[in-house]
A and B are shown apart, each in its own frame.
Chain A
Amino acid sequence: MDILTNLAFGLKVAGEPYNLMVAVAGLVLGVIVGVLPGLGGANGCAILIPVTFVMPPVAAVILLASLYWGALYGGCICSILFNIPGEPWAVATTFDGYPMAKKGQAGRALSAAFFAHFCGAILGTICLTFFSPLLAAFALRFGPPEVFGVMLLTFSAFVGLVGKSPVKTLVATAFGFIMAAVGIDIVSGELRMTFGLTPLMGGFNFIVAVIGLFGIGEILLTVEEGLKFEGVKVRMRWSDITSTLTDMKRYWKTLVLGSFVGVWMGFKPGGATPASFMAYGFAKEAMNEEERAQFGQGHVAGIFAPESAAHAAGTSAMIPMITLGIPGSPTAAVILGGLMIWGLQPGPMLFVDKPEFVWGLIASTWYGNIIGLFIVLAFAPAFAAVLRTPFPILMPLLIFICAIGAYAVNNRMIDIWYMMIFGVIGWAFKKLDYNMAPMLLALVLGDMAESAMRQSLIMSQGSLLIFLHPPITLPLVIAAAVIGSWPWLAPMVRRMRGKGAGKSAGH
């Protein structure tokens, strides 16, 4: 099998001592970043990107990807021990994780969460390994109109399926694209929206936006809510791990279901949060009366389901990133941005041009998730201790680290100021339900989306009909139209159904 040969090659690349060392460093940093409030996978990757300039691309991507897996693993420590979801998809875990920790089963809850992560990761990685090459081979036939169609589908999925306010998501996305356009127009070479100001000529860097929106903004939200980090103390014992293994045998269906939901939803952008809630709901439905009543009071299946789904979704978010150049999660978006900075052209050609890069990444996903499980199992209490750092010490340190990350991208002082401004924007946007993930994605993909659109129009000499060509573009555009307008279509469909049902039930 072609794929297995490639995977073996990748395992050799990722297994080199230097790359393994980088992976472990990434994992440890990732867990810390996942545990800390105000930092997450996306933020951690953004701050580390300047450090990767001194590495070969393979090691660089392994570092960032490992940090991503570590952050996924670490996120649940915060939600189980402190009842504070570090990431939106960890909300469902607090329902059962925190009650279990309060009952004195913190170790069992954590080991259940880690093993659930592992199951999700394995299924996600299997899909990443075997599905990506096929998708990439298919995507090789894509020209500018098809690329534009995929972009359209991605962003309409955000508008239609993610977030509380579709219209605000749309506005945020539009501003992401506008910010991406600031600076020199790559097609005509003209200066756009710079208004004669030199700092604007360099445009807005997405790394600075990530650090501001997700880092500083999150810190401001945390202090405003006045969260107190009073967590449950934890010790991991052998018996916790063995009892998790029995739990796993008993609730293997929950794990498999959660992982499948995760992979399926994670493939679409912004899928991890709905995946975790869906998996939790499904798991609850599948139980008998007696066990269902225990949900929310500390049932171990209530941890298995959302955590396996979240990690599977995080992993499968890499599939569209590596094959189409369209990331499925904010962290994948930052990694994609890193790719561009390292001088790689994202998209299906990567599989042809840079096999050692692609397969090194896929293989490191295997290594990373397996090593990650052992790291978190062994050192969970130590990582939890990081969160016990008093807030007045932790917070200025976080801001200092954010400033380093923001400056290091371009060595521009103005970027640190932009970071502070983005922080305020992030704080206000979050409170008003503006969705920032698609805004970030638009900022990363702006140039690609715009050139795909303009090249298509040049190909068709200005006719919009090029976006309605079968066999690939047309279905993509139709799907995008339906999904994007779903929030407005759904009530109509419901009303029509409601009328129909009313008639058939007629008195």
Chain B
Amino acid sequence: MTTKTADILVAIVLSCFGLIVVWDSLRLGAGWGMGGPKGGFFPFIMAVIALAGCVVIVMQAMKGTSSVKGSKPFVPSGGMKPVLTVFLPACGMVLLTEVVGLYVSAMIYLAAYIRIVGGYRWRTVLLVSIPVPLVFYWLFEKIFLIPMPAGMFGAQILRF
């Protein structure tokens, strides 16, 4: 995908959001209500500005007057793989948090990432992935008294 295509695509997605906002603000009323502007007034103006801006962005991209270089690939070759190797495991960690809680999920995530992506020895892997979440557990749950998500089973696993 070239940067030009991405530029236009992002502008189109943004204008879809803009249209949804326009629709919702019209539902709330974008005009003058009882003694003051109605709830949809401010979002309506902002959405109209955003929509007009998106039109200009698409025009600039088409004419090649955009500030980004349109012919360049949006993701440089070989760039997508490292991005995904960071992003997908991170999403996996968040998903796992829903089940076993943040601390346990972080241990699994850290261990898996350092071992599989980093290729470190098990000793290094365990030295980082077990103590670090435990230190944060102690700091947040015991010192600052800020509870982290426990997921469905987290409370049963970490019980000290």
A103 to B77, CA, bound (A): 34
> For the side of the interface on A, what is the size category?
35 or more
- Chain B, residues 140-160, CB within 8 Å of chain A (1/0): the string is 100011111100000000000
- Chain B, residues 78-107, CB within 8 Å of chain A (1/0): the string is 111011011101110110011000100010
Provide the residues of chain B in CB contact with A420, threshold 8 Å: 87, 90-91, 94
- Chain B, residues 52-76, CB within 8 Å of chain A (1/0): the string is 0110110010000011100000111
- Chain B, residues 32-66, CB within 8 Å of chain A (1/0): the string is 11011111111100110110011011001000001
A195 to B85, CA, bound (A): 34
Is B87 within 8 A of A167, CB to CB? no
The smallest C-beta distance from B70 to any residue of chain A, in angstroms, reads 11
**Provided the pairs A50-B146, A396-B109, A399-B93 are in contact, do residues A192 and B118 lie with their beta carbons within 8 angstroms?**
no
Is B50 within 8 A of A431, CB to CB? no
Is B94 within 8 A of A454, CB to CB? no
Contact of B6 among A54, A185, A225, A432 (CB under 8 A): A432
A190 to B33, CA, bound (A): 13
Provide the residues of chain A in CB contact with B138, threshold 8 Å: none
The yes or no answer to A177 lying at the interface (CB within 8 A) is yes
A175 to B17, CA, bound (A): 9
Is A224 within 8 A of B133, CB to CB? no
The yes or no answer to A505 lying at the interface (CB within 8 A) is no
The smallest C-beta distance from B49 to any residue of chain A, in angstroms, reads 5
The smallest C-beta distance from A150 to any residue of chain B, in angstroms, reads 17
Is B14 within 8 A of A175, CB to CB? yes
Is B113 within 8 A of A178, CB to CB? no
A420 to B148, CA, bound (A): 17
Is B53 within 8 A of A170, CB to CB? yes
Contact of A223 among B38, B68, B83 (CB under 8 A): B83
Q: Which residue of B lies closest to A190 (CB)?
A: B39
The yes or no answer to A416 lying at the interface (CB within 8 A) is yes
Q: Which residue of A lies closest to B53 (CB)?
A: A171
A399 to B106, CA, bound (A): 9
Q: Which residue of B lies closest to A419 (CB)?
A: B94
A54 to B17, CA, bound (A): 38
Provide the residues of chain A in CB contact with B40, threshold 8 Å: 192
Contact of B67 among A165, A175, A403 (CB under 8 A): A165
The smallest C-beta distance from A487 to any residue of chain B, in angstroms, reads 11
Is A396 within 8 A of B113, CB to CB? yes
The smallest C-beta distance from B138 to any residue of chain A, in angstroms, reads 13
Contact of B57 among A168, A195, A462 (CB under 8 A): A168
Provide the residues of chain A in CB contact with B133, threshold 8 Å: 400
Contact of A393 among B14, B86, B120 (CB under 8 A): B120
Provide the residues of chain B in CB contact with A51, threshold 8 Å: 144, 146
A78 to B35, CA, bound (A): 55
A404 to B124, CA, bound (A): 23
Is B57 within 8 A of A167, CB to CB? yes
The yes or no answer to B12 lying at the interface (CB within 8 A) is no
A164 to B67, CA, bound (A): 6
Decide if the interface of chain A is mainly helix, strand, loop or mixed: helix
The yes or no answer to A411 lying at the interface (CB within 8 A) is yes
Is A454 within 8 A of B118, CB to CB? no
Is A188 within 8 A of B39, CB to CB? yes
Provide the residues of chain B in CB contact with A177, threshold 8 Å: 42-43, 46
Contact of A220 among B28, B36, B46, B87 (CB under 8 A): B87
Provide the residues of chain B in CB contact with A54, threshold 8 Å: 144-145
The yes or no answer to A181 lying at the interface (CB within 8 A) is yes
**Provided the pairs A397-B132, A431-B74 are in contact, do residues A454 and B43 lie with their beta carbons within 8 angstroms?**
no
**Provided the pairs A165-B66, A219-B86 are in contact, do residues A454 and B46 lie with their beta carbons within 8 angstroms?**
no
- Chain A, residues 414-435, CB within 8 Å of chain B (1/0): the string is 0011001001100111011100
The smallest C-beta distance from B128 to any residue of chain A, in angstroms, reads 6
Provide the residues of chain A in CB contact with B16, threshold 8 Å: none
Is A392 within 8 A of B49, CB to CB? no
Is A404 within 8 A of B136, CB to CB? yes
A54 to B32, CA, bound (A): 43
Enumerate 28 A-B pairs (CB-CB under 8 Å) in ascending A order.
A54-B145, A165-B66, A165-B68, A171-B50, A171-B53, A174-B47, A175-B46, A193-B43, A219-B86, A224-B83, A226-B82, A390-B120, A393-B114, A395-B113, A396-B93, A397-B110, A400-B110, A401-B136, A403-B102, A404-B148, A407-B148, A416-B97, A432-B3, A432-B6, A453-B37, A454-B41, A457-B37, A458-B35
Q: 11 extra interchain contacts, Cβ-Cβ under 8 A, other than A51-B144, A181-B42? A: A50-B144, A167-B53, A174-B50, A181-B43, A216-B90, A220-B86, A392-B114, A393-B120, A450-B42, A453-B42, A462-B32
Q: Which B residues are within 8 Å of any A CB, using their own CB?
A: 3, 6-7, 10, 14, 17, 20-21, 24-25, 28, 32-33, 35-43, 46-47, 49-50, 53-54, 56-57, 60, 66-68, 74-76, 78-80, 82-83, 85-87, 89-91, 93-94, 97-98, 102, 106, 109-110, 113-114, 117-120, 124, 128, 132-133, 136, 140, 144-149
